[in-house]
Structure 1
Amino acid sequence: MRARSAPAVALAAAVAGAALLSAPAATAAGQGRDDHRRTRAAMDAEVAKGVPGVIGQVVEGRKVWRATSGVGNTDTGQPRGADDVFRVGSITKTFVATVTLQLAAEGRLHLDDTVERWLPGVVRGHGHDGRRVTLRQLLNHTSGIRDVFDEPEFTDKATGPGFLTHRYDTWTPRQLVGLAMKGAPTFEPGTSWSYSNTNYMLAGMVIEKATGRPYGKEIEHRIIEPLGLRHTSVPGTDPRMPGPHGIAYSKLMAEKPAAEVYDATEFNPSLAGAAGEMLSTTGDLNRFYRAVLRGRLFPQRQLKEMLTTVPADEEEPGLRYGLGLMTQDLPCGIRLYGHGGGIHGSSAEAVATRDGRHTAAFNLNADWTGDSVDIVAAEFCGGK
């Protein structure tokens, strides 16, 4: 689930574009409820809208269903692989929040600590004041801190036409936060809600300050290794994608349907940092969210903190945000927990029921068209 009011990291797949290719039938392995025919049809429908390819994995108890639709390479027609690695964008936020909650459980920090306590002088300028913002407010986006993706000096190079020249540039967290400080806060801390990637860049900095190690190393040590997430990584400044993977197709935020499509598979992910740099697969994401919701990664007290939510969108009262985790009530009455992520050439979604028994993760290899909303509804609501 991604916040509808702001990009999940950099790019949002919100406008329909012309179809790049025909929609070949989905391929699948495994069986599930109703053979997941509605989910398969919804995946095919996204390809018909112009998404090159869609992959998904669903886990219900011990049953695993995997499917692909469309292609991973529009030039060769090579299908997407069910085990493709992709950039998960803002799903990174759940990993960062999980580490922060683990540190809270260990007494190494407190959610109501101020940002100033951990990062003196970093959140200052144009009305920003880290002495008035807590770590909890960073994690649930109630800090009011300006999103760096609202800073033109950054977005031209990171998501606009300048990306083609600057795609291999390295951005430091301190540099990105400094750019966000060039504008005023969105609101007074704790008075409203607004999705800000800067919040999680700061959270990553706090983790490093509290542990003495980069936040990515803590994620590896505390989450990736214990859960055996063999295809999940925190790449840092490495622009490469480990195989297997398809091509990530991007229009670089262009609003014109006929805008040129670029291969955005490789770029330096430090532009997203702790707000969205991670790589994973549908299988690893399902395992991660199942572990989170079953309390395998921290005590129940911290899980309760994560699941304590605030309204995230006035136009969608069923959409709420906790600590790095969103909840949404589907029209059929089912409540889902998870997160979405959008970044150059990739739109990902990972959701689960509260007991973690039914999980689903999907990825679309485009950033200008398509959405996983209908796919998720088809999977969890079906004929209900």
Structure 2
Amino acid sequence: MTVRTTMTAVTAAVLSLALAGPAVASADSSGDYGHQATRRAMEAAVADGVPGVTAMVRDGRRGWSATAGVGDLKTGKPRSPHDRYRVASITKTFVATVLLQLEAEGKLSLDDTVEQWLPGLVRGNGHDGSRITLRQLLNHTSGIYDYLADPAFQQTYMAAEGFLQHRYDRKEPEYFIAIAMTHEPYFAPGTSWHYSNTNYALAGRVIEKATGRPYGDEVRDRVIKPLHLSATSVPGTRVTVPQPSSRAYSKLARTATGPTYDVTELNPRLAYGSGEMISSSADLNRFYTALLRGRLLPPEQLAEMKTTVRSRGTNGYGLGLVERTLSCGVHVWGHDGGIHGSNTDAVTTADGRHALAFNFNGDWSGDADAVVEAEFCGR
């Protein structure tokens, strides 16, 4: 996938049984089951500099998992197939799912304007919330400036000196939305496409305005609990990652050289609805399988989510969901996400039969696309 733009962008019982499937055995003990190319791609990522990789696959009634490299550069401890990790922009699919559920319940319409729900918040330098719909937030056709592109933001939260000083800062989404408003929009609403994390900071606030509850509570009650995603959380200001987990590493620079920093601890609330969440490979596979099989959204809303606009290359971006055509002609749906020290991909075929989720615990190298191609195309 190629929309990795969160913090590292610019540098019910029946349902549970239906989704659980067979236990996923470690490839180290149970063989690669035809996933040799995927393993090779993971090992190539480690050779390229990624400290470690963890991956899980659901393919029909069979499961497979594998790890490569290490989860801790100091101790050499390997990564675990059960690692929790920061999933960054994959949070966007969860947020979009909740908004579409609210639409199905008649609590809002995706054709409502941002101004209707968040009066006065999107205004200035050509931004006008009365001309932007909730749908345009979700598919990144709003034109709203991405606060991550702001040079001062980059220096404060991405560069080494700034990150080490500000990693535990507490800021509300309005702070970052206001940064976006100091810049001109990319284009008039609905006339083009540009990925912007500001869109999902606003989407999270719309959920809260429509429900009267924190957006994370809505994600928990509507998605995490019904699917029994035991490794998935909206952590708020908790700076650590639950165990089992690995350390996360970054160069905190635009290059792959220089010192390597342990960036495991940070305040994920800074990413809010654009990239706050933590999950695991097994949970991500379960989530996207359930979503694409219609277990979270009625048919009308799922069709809306899968209605795409052209984004990057041959990719299409729907409502928090990316469609991608691989080199062998296979179509997959999902999202990816990058935050300090953590790059994640989760992709699933439209029928939910074949799903892959994996994570790199370093953010400066490794070919994630090669892992996806290897799993679904065998090369």
Alpha carbons 1:28, 1:65 under 8 Å: kept? no
What is the 5 A alignment of 1:239-318? 239-252=239-252, 254-313=253-312, 316=313, 318=314
Work out the CA distance in 2 between the residues paired with 1:233 and 1:195. 24
How far did residue 240 of structure 1 move? 1.2
Alpha carbons 1:29, 1:67 under 8 Å: kept? no
Partner SS state of residue 135, structure 2? helix
Partner SS state of residue 51, structure 1? coil
Alpha carbons 1:13, 1:366 under 8 Å: kept? no
CA RMSD in angstroms comes to: 1.4
Partner SS state of residue 208, structure 2? helix
What is the 5 A alignment of 1:65-80? 65-80=64-79
Work out the CA distance in 2 between the residues paired with 1:154 and 1:105. 36
Work out the CA distance in 1 between the residues paired with 2:354 and 2:324. 15
Tell me the matched-pair count.
364
Alpha-carbon spacing, 1:42–1:183, altered in 2? closer, same or farther (3 Å): same
- Runs of 5+ in structure 1 lacking a partner? 15-25
Which residue in 1 is equivalent to 2:83? Answer: 84
Compute the TM-score of the two structures, normalised by the length of structure 1.
0.92
> Cα deviation per residue 1:87-118 (whole Å; 9 max; x = unaligned)?
00100000000000000000000000000000
How far did residue 29 of structure 1 move? 5.1
How far did residue 305 of structure 1 move? 0.1
> Cα deviation per residue 1:312-341 (whole Å; 9 max; x = unaligned)?
02xx1x211000000110010000100000
How far did residue 30 of structure 1 move? 4.5
Deviates more, 1:204-213 or 1:55-64: 55-64
How far did residue 32 of structure 1 move? 6.2
Which residue in 1 is equivalent to 2:178? Answer: 178
How far did residue 352 of structure 1 move? 0.4
Which residue in 2 is equivalent to 1:9? Answer: 6
Alpha-carbon spacing, 1:59–1:30, altered in 2? closer, same or farther (3 Å): farther
Which residue in 2 is equivalent to 1:125? Answer: 124
Work out the CA distance in 1 between the residues paired with 2:366 and 2:271. 22
Which residue in 1 is equivalent to 2:329? Answer: 333
Partner SS state of residue 28, structure 1? helix
2:352 matched to 1:361? no
How far did residue 259 of structure 1 move? 1.7
Alpha carbons 1:12, 1:367 under 8 Å: kept? no
Partner SS state of residue 359, structure 1? strand
- Greater than 6 Å deviation, 4+ residue runs: none
Which residue in 1 is equivalent to 2:163? Answer: 163
Which residue in 2 is equivalent to 1:21? Answer: none
Alpha carbons 2:234, 2:277 under 8 Å: kept? yes
Work out the CA distance in 1 between the residues paired with 2:276 and 2:29. 29
Which residue in 2 is equivalent to 1:151? Answer: 150
Which residue in 2 is equivalent to 1:228? Answer: 228
How far did residue 255 of structure 1 move? 2.6
Work out the CA distance in 1 between the residues paired with 2:124 and 2:10. 32
Compute the TM-score of the two structures, normalised by the length of structure 2.
0.94
How far did residue 27 of structure 1 move? 5.3
What is the 5 A alignment of 1:211-226? 211-226=211-226
How far did residue 31 of structure 1 move? 5.4
Which residue in 2 is equivalent to 1:194? Answer: 194
Partner SS state of residue 378, structure 1? helix
Work out the CA distance in 2 between the residues paired with 1:30 and 1:335. 28
Alpha-carbon spacing, 1:98–1:149, altered in 2? closer, same or farther (3 Å): same
Selected match of 2:374 from 351, 375, 378: 378
Work out the CA distance in 1 between the residues paired with 2:33 and 2:299. 31
How far did residue 371 of structure 1 move? 2.6
Which residue in 2 is equivalent to 1:347? Answer: 343
Alpha-carbon spacing, 1:62–1:115, altered in 2? closer, same or farther (3 Å): same
How far did residue 33 of structure 1 move? 4.5
Partner SS state of residue 2, structure 1? coil
Which residue in 2 is equivalent to 1:43? Answer: 42
> Cα deviation per residue 1:227-284 (whole Å; 9 max; x = unaligned)?
00001000111111110111100111x1333221100000001221100010000000
Work out the CA distance in 1 between the residues paired with 2:374 and 2:359. 15
Work out the CA distance in 2 between the residues paired with 1:296 and 1:8. 28
Work out the CA distance in 1 between the residues paired with 2:84 and 2:320. 22
Alpha-carbon spacing, 1:158–1:222, altered in 2? closer, same or farther (3 Å): same
Alpha carbons 1:96, 1:219 under 8 Å: kept? yes
Letter paired with 1:129: D
Alpha carbons 2:141, 2:192 under 8 Å: kept? yes
- Runs of 5+ in structure 2 lacking a partner? 12-25
Letter paired with 2:265: E
